[in-house]
Amino acid sequence: MPSYTVSNGLRRVTPYYHDHRTPFKQRWAGRTVGEVLTSELGQNHDVVSQGIALHDIYVTKNNGKAGGPIPIKGTELLTRQLMAHDIIHNLQHVHEPSVIWTPNRTMIPTVNYFDGRSQSLYMMKCGVLILFDNKDILVACKPSGVPTHPGGIYRYNTLLEIVANELGYPVWPCHRLDKSTLGIIVLAKTKLFCKAMMAVFRVHTQLEKQYLARVKGNFVHDKCSYRCPLISVNSSGGYLNVPKEVPTNSTTKFQRLAYLPESDESIVLCKPVTGRMHQIRIHLALLGHPISNDEYYNGQNEINSRKNQIERIIYKNIFEKYPQFAVTGLDAPIPELITVSEFVTPEINTLLENLAKRRTDRDQRLITGKCVECMLPLYTENAHPGIYLHAFRLVHNWLQIDSEGLQTVPHFSFSTDFPSWCPAEKLSYSISHQSV
């Protein structure tokens, strides 16, 4: 692991070299590695040419086939067309973004147990709060603003790498938890146990996740269940983050716990029935109560504001055909899938194109210089602190038949303290055993 520093509430990883491996995609057939890296992966032409000359960029062919892989390096890559079973290797100088790192050093006792065994909390040296630890699992409270696992521009500034660096061995996530979200994440210490736990998380009928959210306005629904397909826009590419057909069964239960008149905000208990990406955030925004500091779905800057505008137009078109998605509790027939392209007009496509151009222009303005080693642009440091969404409680029950008959037996239960933005004294009642 490269060296890192923690100062002024930020965790910074020293720039390092990493061998990125990109498998062949069919749309790249007939194109050279240089064409793909510059046109599709956004790399500088001069940097790519230098990488090929230095053999930092090369291709292996026949991956997964007899006699493979076979490396191809140097000037041959300038004209060789990519084909099936190729892998592009690209040794890059990585400037990983910093993350907010101000872990909570206080530990309020909570009851946490797994398979009937309870355990006390403890804090790792790196500042990650551990709720439960045995030979198979490690249950942590992930800080907000920190990615769970490596991906995209993050590798070592992720929870998995930070924890593994201290433990001296790898861990695997058993479920998803967004970068922006604070709270409980279950990590497995072996791939085999990870597979078993992932199967547990797939059975939503026996698993209960509780989240706390701080949202805009007076959440008037009190108790409700909301079902609506999930649509979001990618501003950097100007496209929708959805498949061709979108499932409509995304459902979240909500309950207002408190209204904060001084800031016109509400504390809401959220229980996702399904567990899709950004589900709670999108559903709250559609109900007119976005998470207060969720820049992605409650955009205040130009780019995210335009992104949200496009999303609202698409949802308006969906609601006109399927009004049952516009409100809570409407009992009406609902299709299992909707085809999103049906609701994307030429005007929306134009807005998407303009959004991508504006995002590119904005990103260019954030460039502060160029790395003398790799010639890649350097950007203004802008670590995001996360949002007011906290994975507060996680419970799994299973059914067991004994002399008393069929009973629900707790398998595991993990919970954390309230986050700093949730005034516990203003909640109308305890939420530890509430059901929406």
Sequence spans of domains, the chain: 4-94, 216-381
Per-position DSSP letters for 22-44, written without gaps between them: EE--GGGTT--HHHHHHHTS---
So what's the pLDDT on residue 433? 44
Instruction: Kindly report, residue by residue over 17-54, the tens digit of the pLDDT.
Output: 999 899 999 989 999 999 999 887 778 788 899 899 99
So what's the pLDDT on residue 206? 81
Which residues, other chains included, contact 355 with Cβ-Cβ below 8 Å and sequence gap of 6+? 233, 235, 238, 303, 306, 307, 310
Residue 2 has pLDDT above 60, yes or no: yes
Other C-beta atoms lying within 10 Å of the C-beta of residue 194: 19
Tokens of 274: 């399904």
* Residue 64 · residue 119 · CB < 8 Å: no
Which residues, other chains included, contact 198 with Cβ-Cβ below 8 Å and sequence gap of 6+? 174, 175
So what's the pLDDT on residue 182? 95
% of the chain with per-residue pLDDT over 90: 70
143 prior amide bond cis, ω within 30: no
46 is catalytic: no
So what's the pLDDT on residue 166? 96
Which residues, other chains included, contact 251 with Cβ-Cβ below 8 Å and sequence gap of 6+? 225, 226, 227, 272, 273, 274
Instruction: Kindly report, residue by residue over 260-270, the tens digit of the pLDDT.
Output: 999 999 999 99
- Sheet strands (E) in 99-206: 99-100, 113-114, 117-118, 122-123, 129-133, 137-142, 172-173, 182-188
So what's the pLDDT on residue 304? 96
The gap from C-alpha 229 to its chain's centroid, in whole angstroms, comes to 18
Residue 432 has pLDDT above 80, yes or no: no
Choose, from 56, 86, 178, 417, the residue flagged as catalytic. Answer: 178
Q: What is the DSSP letter of 218?
A: -
So what's the pLDDT on residue 1? 77
% of the chain with per-residue pLDDT over 70: 93
Scored b (16 or more CB within 10 A) or e, 39-75 reads: eeeebbeebbeebbeeebbbbbbebeeeeebeeebee
* Residue 24 · residue 80 · CB < 8 Å: no
Residue 112 has pLDDT above 90, yes or no: no
- Give the whole-angstrom CA distance, residue 386 versus residue 293: 8
Which is higher by pLDDT, 203 or 219? 219
Residue type at position 74? G
H helices present in 40-76, as ranges: 45-53
Which residues, other chains included, contact 236 with Cβ-Cβ below 8 Å and sequence gap of 6+? 356, 359, 360, 363
So what's the pLDDT on residue 429? 55
- Per-residue pLDDT band for 428 (boundaries 50, 70, 90) equals low
Q: What is the DSSP letter of 96?
A: P
Query: Average pLDDT of the chain?
Result: 90
Mean of pLDDT values over 397-409: 59
Tokens of 38: 């510059």
For 229, phi then psi, to 5°, come to -65, 155
Tell me the C-alpha to C-alpha distance, in Å, between residue 340 and each of 17, 239, 313, 324. Answer: 40, 12, 12, 16
- Give the whole-angstrom CA distance, residue 335 versus residue 249: 9
Tokens of 143: 């800080």
- Per-residue pLDDT band for 92 (boundaries 50, 70, 90) equals confident
Which CATH number does the domain 4-94 belong to among 3.10.290, 3.10.530, 3.30.70, 2.60.120? 3.10.290
Beta strands 207-216 and 245-247, pairing class: unpaired
Per-position DSSP letters for 344-393, written without gaps between them: --HHHHHHHHHHHHHHHHHHHHTEEEE-TTT--EEE--------SEEEEE
Helix axes 346-365 and 302-321, enclosed angle (nearest 10): 160
Which is higher by pLDDT, 200 or 80? 80
* Residues facing residue 59 across a β-bridge: 72, 88
- Per-residue pLDDT band for 131 (boundaries 50, 70, 90) equals very high
So what's the pLDDT on residue 435? 46
Which residues, other chains included, contact 151 with Cβ-Cβ below 8 Å and sequence gap of 6+? 158
* Residue 13 · residue 1 · CB < 8 Å: no
Residue 407 has pLDDT above 60, yes or no: no
Which is higher by pLDDT, 376 or 388? 388
Mean of pLDDT values over 369-396: 89
Other C-beta atoms lying within 10 Å of the C-beta of residue 385: 14
- Give the whole-angstrom CA distance, residue 192 versus residue 198: 10
- Give the whole-angstrom CA distance, residue 88 versus residue 37: 9
